Chains A and B, each alone.
Chain A
Amino acid sequence: MRPEDVETVRSLVHARSGVVIDPGKTYQIETRLAPVARRAGFASLPDLVQAIRVQRDEKLMWAATEALTSNETCFFRDRVPFAQFREEMLPELVAGRGERPIRIWSAACATGQEPYSLAMIIDDERAKLHGARIELFGSDISERSLEKAQSGLYTQFEVQRGLPIRLLVRHFEKADEMWALSPRVRQMVRWRRINLLADLRGLGQFDVIFCRNVISGFDEPTRRRVLDQLARALPDDGRLVLGFDETVSGVTDALTPVAGRRGVYAPTPARIAA
């Protein structure tokens, strides 16, 4: 790809999703855009970029953005946040919520492994939930990722990454060469296409938001904007779970780290007082 084509693509993705693509990653851009070009009937990547530049075709621009922002994910990624959810967050929420439904949001969840990991935990812990109503939401910017997530179908490679074998046996069935998640767990998650750059106020509040390994792809102003929006979507005792390598430090004062819980943040009390 010519440098000007790379720049066109980088500008497009940043404007649409807030994600900053390293200009040195030309190979990655080419690899990810090649299927988009093929599906849209373009003979080459420069032809695709030219069409984006000249025609400003919305569908094409979103397809390119989605292809370049899709995140790698796996079931129970990094293990620890899910153990904390099972052992600490969920029991506390059940004890403190009364009749109100518990609302959990897996934001920018790509192909759904994160919300389904949470759903499997909730299903396994059902006996301890004392009938608590739990609403679990999964969202992503990518329509294609959400379609795959909703299908609940995963490859052998995908189910082997992070999913303990006993959970595979309990929650999946073999479907030809794929593994199909049980309808019971699939139906626990509600899906919605959400761009984190959009105004999120209409979504209501969530007791726990998982937004792991997402903000690290944004530039700092976008990171601040997204984190401030997520903070506003949390009640006073809500929790935001970020990736291990992600921090709010130096970005926003709206969130405060929870002591001893790497990657877990609470709304800052000052914000509440204000």
Chain B
Amino acid sequence: MTSQSARRIWRHVRVPLVLFHVAAIVLMSTPDPGPGLNRSAWKNPTVQDELSAWAERLSGLGLEVTPEALEAWAWDRAVELNRARDRVVSPLRPYHEYAGVRQPWNMFVAPHRNPAVLGVDVLVEDEWRPLYRARSDEHDYRRAFFDHDRIRAMLFRYGWSSFRMSYHDFARWLAKQIAVDVPEATKARVFFSRYRTLSPEEVKAGEETKASRDQAVVFDLAPFRPDPSAEAAE
């Protein structure tokens, strides 16, 4: 086969290949309700606020609906959409996985009105002392680590109850680091502070956020430290 005829064949072979790639990325970029299909996550005040806002707006337009009814309707539609989308994109999954052409563009879907920020306390001489507060210049234990965008993305997820197991793994790992870094501490307490962000009117009125603690876990640090008697024996 001459190079010219090979080129002529390639011109035609290339058409379905390029179309396949474009079709794959277009289909994969369709809205994916999958990650949000979690009943407990829908009970979060931020999600409930969204449902109330839409129910109020729709009712104002003459489509009388309660937040509860809207939630039930939205859940059913999301499940249906997820099922239909799954059927379409499943055959393309190997291409997405091995070529790396995933299309997860669900960025800043909604503001989180009730964010959770991490806090860490240590027990020193029977007194709990703050060791880390998110974005604080005063209590800034491992601040560069916590400020990294991958860690912030992770902690944003762990603020949702559906990630409780992984949050506990992270809290235990953090306690191990504290056991080494803060030798005078006997216990570590890891928790989330949850608060409602202020509206512009509330900021102007001089109001302050009111935080409540959530998902607190306490670790005894002794088991995470090397045993001095074993070291002496060595």
> Does A pair with B?
no
Residues of B near any A CB (own CB < 8 A): none
Residues of A near any B CB (own CB < 8 A): none
